[in-house]
């Protein structure tokens, strides 16, 4: 299941049963939940096919074939084209190839760039849209440790959920129907109960989303000093408000659960990348490589590549100067009523231009929309405080003379009180609530839009973006163009200087295989982390009633009694998670980790904090994949949830113990 949709999954039965991570199914489970049936809080286990729930927006895509189309795509590029023309020509060819390979909608095809546009491959998928929820543990199991434990080891999270893929009677993709049947796959993974030992071989297949292993030192500096800090600041503001209300209100917690999870994961990821890119001296190592590369260029008269690094330095310098004028206003302009007001911009602009036809068409579109949907899955007190705090965050990031027009209004009309401004907008703005919007659409007066504070807020933020956008686009274009040349040069450099070195392309949401082994690691002087953690750690971390470290009483009782059944290791302990040296990134979530026999031994779900720089530079001594042990998965399904119908469906294997050979004592 490719991560063009977000995660990876694996088929584990002849009846289309699919395992993936708990956090991968989180959004679907949240949408299926209600105050009466909160499956995030209480879990869900279908006892038979009839109880399985259609998962909203969930699809399962299977790779049918892949094809090298480099010659086709690059064949449309001519020497007289500038870079923008080259990009346009290649995109057109890629689209042509995708349309042809789709066979009138039978398949989903996409052409992907590799090595910064130096190679191209096409991937053809069969996409199944009838996917149903079969089982998921309580969030207190599937998300045990919350944001505190995210990216950390040891980890005691049962990060798995279970779905089933359905097809029509011929095994083809079909929209949801009661007549659909469970998919019969070409292959399903057997499951091993043998467990893991240090140095065991491991392999992971999946769809890693994005790495930047060929990023220049200038790009790293830009991310650490400019891009990541801005996103950390903005997302941190949103998360702080959400958590304030989520921790005390179950209804709000359910409503914002999926949004919070996505923001929190990115927020902490960027914090970790900032810290570890510095600590692991990744920029310095890139500088050393670039010095060697430059010497090779000069020694071999490789003039084609000589300007790439200087141009990247200039481009990233330009990005650093303009980026905050893009990121901050972009997010603030989307906040609450300001974001809704943007949908009325075309109608108001037609009014200003006295274009009656466009005005009538725009109004017709507005009057046909479902206003209540604009406020679905939101709570006004959360939204209003977020609205105010985002304005405060923006103000703190800029000099007074750089602030857009909306702050002059706040100063003049509200004495600089942003909270009072937010109260007024939510009460009186056309876009402050559903009732106000409905009243306006019933008796539209476009003149009022231009005086509306939410609309002024949106347009004043957009003005900042519009002014900065030409410089931003030019810089981004220069980065893309020169990255293409730089990576082309690097490949030639390595071929000439280190011919034994194999270069692999960056992750781009296409199928990859990563091999490694089960290993411990030492994150710091005198600190050693074992390669497994046990259920005893759940007892050690357990805090009754805590937002992140609560756990179900039944689980605690089973662990205290050591009632682990067939899922205990040779010492009678229950392994929850284990470490491996596999190279993964976002998109690999839910990927199967297998032994050398191709048997499932766990599900990959995270990386470790000390190697958060790994998307830019792989760290062999430090980098580890955190996997939930399949024995813990089966323990939760069987001993905790009692879903033995699912256990019976799986192909579970255990190696027979080898007999001990006793030689007869010679007389």
For residue 106, pLDDT over 90 is answered with yes
- The rounded radius of gyration (Å) of the Cα atoms in the chain is 27
Q: Calculate the alpha carbon distances from 426 to 253, 341, 409, 412, 530 in Å.
A: 22, 12, 16, 19, 53
Q: Which two tokens stand for residue 611?
A: 């190697």
What is the enclosing helix (H) or strand (E) of 132? strand 130-136
| pLDDT for 665 | 47
Q: Cβ distance 122 to 69 under 8 Å?
A: yes
Q: State residue 332's pLDDT score.
A: 97
Q: Residue 406: is its pLDDT beyond 80?
A: yes
Model confidence at 6, in pLDDT bands (50, 70, 90)?
confident
- Smallest CA-to-CA distance from 348 within 435, 445, 454, 460 is with 445
Architecture of domain 512-653: Beta Barrel (2.40)
The answer to whether residue 102 is catalytic is: no
Residues forming CATH 2.40.10 domain(s) in the chain:
512-653
Q: Name the active-site residue from 161, 589, 591, 613.
A: 589
Q: What per-residue confidence (pLDDT) applies to 655?
A: 87
**Active site includes 159?**
yes
Q: How far apart are CA 406 and CA 454, in angstroms?
A: 9
pLDDT in tens, 377-403: 899 999 999 999 999 999 999 999 999
Average pLDDT, the chain: 95
3-state secondary structure of 344: helix
Q: How far apart are CA 92 and CA 309, in angstroms?
A: 29
CA–CA separation, 397 and 495 (whole Å): 46
pLDDT in tens, 549-583: 999 999 999 999 999 999 999 999 999 999 999 99
**Of 38, 147, 149, 159, which is the active-site residue?**
159
Instruction: Compute, in degrees rounded to 10, the torsion defined by CA atoms 98, 104, 106, 107.
Output: 10
Quick: pLDDT tens for 477-512: 999 999 999 999 999 999 999 999 999 999 999 999
Report percent pLDDT > 70 for the chain: 97
Q: Which residues, in sequence order, are CB contacts of 463 under 8 Å at separation 6+?
A: 404, 405
Decide: 77 and 89 in contact? Cβ < 8 Å: yes
| pLDDT recorded at residue 651 | 97
Alpha carbon distance 5, 163 (integer Å) = 15
> How many C-beta neighbours within 10 Å does residue 364 have?
10
Give me the mean pLDDT over the 608-620 stretch.
95
Position 657 pLDDT exceeds 90: no
Q: What is the pLDDT of residue 124?
A: 98
Q: For 490-617, where are the E strands, in sequence order?
A: 512-517, 521-524, 527-529, 532-534, 575-580, 592-594, 600-607
Once rounded to an integer, what is the mean pLDDT over residues 235-257?
A: 95
CA distances from 551 to 5, 140, 141, 575 (A): 30, 5, 7, 17
Q: For the segment 633-650, what is each residue's pLDDT rounded down to a tens digit?
A: 999 999 999 999 999 999
Question: Which residues, in sequence order, are CB contacts of 401 under 8 Å at separation 6+?
Answer: none
Q: Is 62 exposed, middle or buried (0-12, 13-18, 19+ CB in 10 A)?
A: middle
Strands 532-534 and 181-182: unpaired
3-state secondary structure of 342: helix
Which spans in 171-307 are helix H? Answer: 217-222, 228-246, 250-279, 282-300
* Active-site residue flag, 589: yes
Structure-derived torsion over alpha carbons of residues 15, 21, 26, 28, reported in degrees to the nearest 10: -20
pLDDT tens, position by position, 149-198? 999 999 999 999 999 999 999 999 999 999 999 999 999 999 999 999 99
Closest of 103, 97, 44, 99 to residue 70, by C-alpha: 97
Given the residues 3, 13, 22, 23, select the one marked as catalytic.
23
Range 100-116 average pLDDT: 97
Residue 3: pLDDT over 70 = no
Residue 26 pLDDT greater than 70, yes or no? yes
pLDDT value of residue 72: 98
- Give the C-alpha separation, 558 to 564, whole Å: 7
Long-range Cβ pairs for the range 413-421 (8 Å, 24+) = 418/388, 418/391, 418/392, 419/388, 421/388, 421/391, 421/453
Q: Give the list of residues 6+ apart from residue 211 with CB closer than 8 angstroms, or none.
A: 506, 507, 585, 615, 616
Q: How confident is the model at residue 661 (pLDDT cuts 50, 70, 90)?
A: low
- Structure token digits, residue 392: 């405060």
Query: What are the residue ranges of helices labelled H in 429-563?
Result: 434-442, 453-497, 536-541, 553-560
Tokens of 47: 């006892």
Burial 136-151 (b: 16+ CB within 10 A, else e): bbbbbbbbbbbbebbb
Cis peptide before 471 (omega within 30 of 0): no
| Close Cβ partners of 271 (under 8 Å, ≥ 6 residues apart) | 228, 232
| Mean pLDDT value across residues 624-631 | 98
197: tokens are 């030992």
Give me the residues paired with residue 606 across strands: 626
For the chain, the 3-state helix, strand and coil shares in percent, each to the nearest 5, are: 50, 15, 35
β-pairing, 201-206 vs 130-136, is: unpaired
Q: What is the full DSSP assignment across 232-261?
A: HHHHHHHHHHHHHHHTT-HHHHHHHHHHHH
């Amino acid at each position: 299941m490719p991560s063009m949709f977000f995660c990876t999954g694996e088929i584990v039965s002849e009846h289309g049963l699919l395992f993936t991570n708990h956090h991968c199914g989180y959004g679907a489970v949240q949408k299926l939940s209600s105050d009466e049936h909160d499956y995030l809080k209480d879990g869900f286990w279908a006892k038979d096919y009839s109880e399985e729930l259609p998962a909203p927006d969930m699809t399962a895509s299977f790779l049918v074939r892949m094809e090298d189309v480099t010659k086709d795509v690059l064949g449309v590029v001519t020497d007289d084209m500038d870079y923008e023309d080259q990009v346009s020509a290649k995109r057109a060819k890629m689209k042509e190839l995708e349309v042809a390979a789709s066979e009138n909608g039978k398949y989903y095809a996409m052409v992907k760039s590799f090595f910064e546009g130096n190679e191209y491959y096409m991937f053809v998928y069969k996409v199944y849209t009838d996917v149903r929820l079969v089982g998921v543990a309580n969030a207190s199991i599937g998300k045990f440790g919350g944001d505190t434990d995210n990216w950390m080891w040891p980890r005691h999270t049962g990060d798995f959920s279970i779905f089933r893929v359905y097809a029509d009677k011929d095994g083809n993709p079909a929209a949801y129907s009661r007549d659909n049947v469970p998919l019969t796959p070409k292959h399903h993974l057997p499951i091993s109960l043998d467990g893991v030992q240090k140095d065991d071989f491991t392999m992971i297949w999946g769809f890693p989303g994005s790495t930047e292993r060929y990023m220049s030192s200038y790009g790293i500096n830009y991310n650490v000093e400019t891009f990541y800090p801005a996103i950390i600041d903005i997302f941190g503001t949103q998360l702080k408000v959400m958590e304030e209300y989520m921790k005390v209100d179950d209804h709000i917690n359910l409503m914002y659960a999926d949004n919070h999870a996505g923001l929190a994961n990115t927020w902490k990821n960027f914090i970790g990348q900032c810290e570890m890119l510095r600590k692991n001296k990744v920029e310095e190592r890139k500088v050393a490589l670039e010095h060697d590369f430059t010497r090779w260029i000069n020694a071999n008269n490789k003039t084609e590549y000589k300007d790439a690094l200087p141009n990247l330095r200039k481009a990233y310098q330009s990005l650093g100067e303009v980026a905050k004028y893009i990121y901050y206003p972009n997010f603030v302009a989307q906040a609450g009523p300001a974001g809704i007001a943007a949908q009325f911009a075309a109608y108001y602009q037609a009014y200003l231009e006295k274009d009656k036809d466009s005005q009538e068409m725009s109004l017709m579109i507005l009057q046909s929309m479902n206003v209540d949907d604009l406020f679905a899955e939101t709570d006004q007190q959360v939204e209003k405080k977020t609205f105010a705090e985002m304005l405060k965050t923006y103000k703190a990031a800029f000099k007074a003379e750089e602030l857009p027009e909306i702050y002059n209004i706040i100063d003049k009309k509200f004495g600089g009180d942003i909270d009072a401004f937010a109260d007024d907008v939510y009460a009186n703005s056309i876009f402050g609530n559903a009732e106000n919007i409905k009243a306006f659409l019933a008796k539209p007066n476009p003149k009022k839009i231009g005086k509306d504070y939410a609309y002024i807020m949106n347009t004043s933020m957009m003005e900042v973006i519009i002014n900065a956008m030409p410089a931003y686009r030019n810089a981004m274009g220069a980065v893309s163009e020169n990255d293409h040349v730089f990576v082309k040069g690097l490949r030639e450099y390595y071929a000439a200087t280190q011919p034994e070195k194999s270069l692999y392309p960056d992750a781009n949401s296409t199928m990859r295989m990563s091999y490694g082994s089960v290993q411990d690691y030492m994150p710091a002087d005198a600190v050693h982390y074992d390669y497994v953690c046990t259920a005893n750690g759940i007892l050690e971390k357990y805090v009754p009633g805590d937002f992140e470290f609560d756990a179900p009483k039944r689980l605690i009782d089973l662990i205290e009694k050591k009632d682990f059944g067939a899922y205990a290791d040779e010492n009678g302990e229950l392994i929850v998670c284990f470490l491996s040296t596999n190279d993964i990134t976002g998109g690999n979530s839910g990927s199967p980790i297998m032994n050398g026999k191709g048997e499932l031994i766990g599900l990959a779900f995270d990386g470790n904090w000390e190697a958060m720089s790994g998307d830019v530079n792989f760290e062999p001594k430090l980098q580890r994949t955190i996997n939930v042990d399949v024995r813990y998965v089966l323990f939760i399904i069987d001993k905790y949830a009692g879903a033995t119908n699912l256990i019976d469906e799986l192909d579970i294997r255990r190696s027979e113990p080898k007999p001990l050979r006793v030689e007869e004592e010679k007389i």
